Amino acid sequence: MQRRTFIKHGSLALLTTATTTSWTMIPNSSDIYDVIIIGGSYSGLSAALSLGRARRKVLIIDANEPCNMRVPHSHNLLTHDGVPPHVLRTKARADVAKYTTVQFLDGRAEQLGGTDGNFAVRTSDGTEHRGRKLLLALGVRDELPQIKGLVECWGITAASCPFCHGYEVRDQRLVVIGNAPENAHYAKLIRNWSDRLTVCTNGPSSFDNEQLEALRKQGIAFVENPITEVLHEQGQVKALVFADGSRRDADTLFLRSDTTAPSSLTEKLGVERTEIGLLKVDPMQRTNVPGVFASGDCTTPMRALSAAFASGTMAGAAITHELLPV
């Protein structure tokens, strides 16, 4: 089994950690938020906007580590195509800050407790905050093959979504890295953007003969040698180096990274997960735990800003309905 490495900035929101130390919640008091949102990137901010406009008292806890912090430009987003992510996020945060019932806290959520109507969140500075509802906009963690130089290129000239990054590298020398059966289809998809395409399985191929023949028919080159290094200059891919000493020039890498939602907080709450490790939600972004909602990348394999915005808006509206008096 190939060794893999985790990328901490693997989400559209923040990554959070939890400790196992026991703690006691503060008693009920009037100092309670309607909603505490853990994760202040696009999905969390979208939810906060809806909730702020509904005049709900909201606390956003954010570690300021969005997954696309190294991505030069955002694409496939109407009216904002090509805008740098940090510009989008700064503007989004300013939009939300206009609503006086929404507050921001820079920090990490480390412990969760309580039940529907009385949740508590303890942050890294030791303070405790209480809310009637919780929204988990945790993002995801990317797990990449442990290849020297790959992490440094991730988000710059190594990516997973061709719809977000493919057009800008059209007709360039593209490489798909991956050996799972679904990568054969992934390679055919990437072929839309360039016929100068190579598939590198980073070891003996697991593709069947039918898949290999389909790749050959499309003129896709195929390399099974293990990759030892990605040569790059400040994240700009130049070439791949293989175990036998050979190399192949390249401009951009595409690979389907394994992604998981952070587990330390959600396990204690008992939030169910999907088969691929994401948080399981219904169409209203509700988890199986009463009062706990989730949105953004931690709930869907569709990692796109538009999807993050949409799920956050849905969560904000659904939470507002649940907060109505019985």
Longest dimension (CA), the chain: 70
pLDDT digits (tens, 9 = 90+) for 79-132: 888 888 889 889 999 999 999 999 999 999 999 999 999 999 999 899 999 999
One domain, residues 234 and 296: no
Query: Within a domain: residue 4?
Result: no
Token pair listed for 243:
């175990």
pLDDT digits (tens, 9 = 90+) for 21-59: 344 454 444 589 999 999 999 999 999 999 999 999 999
One domain, residues 107 and 219: no
Long-range contacts of 69-75, Cβ-Cβ distance < 8 Å, separation of 24 or more:
69/9, 69/155, 70/9, 70/154, 70/155, 70/156, 70/235, 71/155, 71/156, 72/156, 73/168, 74/164, 74/305, 75/164, 75/165, 75/167, 75/168
Which uninterrupted H or E stretch holds 232?
Answer: strand 227-233
**Predicted confidence band of residue 243 (pLDDT cuts 50, 70, 90):** very high
One domain, residues 39 and 109: yes
**Mean pLDDT (whole number) for 215-219:** 91
**Mean pLDDT (whole number) for 306-313:** 95
Give the total number of structural domains in the chain.
Answer: 2
Token pair listed for 51:
């909730």
Query: Within a domain: residue 131?
Result: yes
Domain extent, residue 57, equals 9-140+261-322
One domain, residues 13 and 161: no
pLDDT higher for 9 or 270?
270
Query: Within a domain: residue 115?
Result: yes
One domain, residues 219 and 155: yes
Query: Within a domain: residue 225?
Result: yes
Return the pLDDT at 154. 92
The count of other CB atoms within 10 Å of the CB of residue 76 is 16
Query: Within a domain: residue 3?
Result: no
Last residue of a domain, one of 254, 284, 313: 254
Last residue of a domain, one of 223, 254, 285: 254
Return the pLDDT at 84. 87
Query: Within a domain: residue 2?
Result: no
C-alpha distance from residue 33 to each of 57, 107, 163 (Å): 5, 17, 38
One domain, residues 235 and 149: yes
Return the pLDDT at 30. 53
Last residue of a domain, one of 231, 254, 277: 254
pLDDT of residue 268 exceeding 90, the answer is no
One domain, residues 45 and 105: yes
CB 197 within 8 A of CB 221: yes
One domain, residues 151 and 194: yes
pLDDT of residue 3 exceeding 50, the answer is no
Q: How far is CA 7 from the centre of its chain?
A: 11
Asked whether the CA dihedral 156, 171, 179, 262 is positive or negative, the reply is positive
Task: Give the DSSP per-residue string, 109-120.
Answer: EEEEEEETTEEE
Distance CA 91, CA 89 (A): 5
Return the pLDDT at 260. 76
Phi, psi values for residue 251, rounded to 5°: -110, -40
CB 230 within 8 A of CB 153: yes
One domain, residues 27 and 136: yes
One domain, residues 294 and 221: no
Token pair listed for 23:
């703690």
One domain, residues 131 and 179: no
One domain, residues 212 and 233: yes
The count of other CB atoms within 10 Å of the CB of residue 149 is 19
Query: Within a domain: residue 235?
Result: yes
> Which CATH number goes with the domain that contains 36?
3.50.50.60
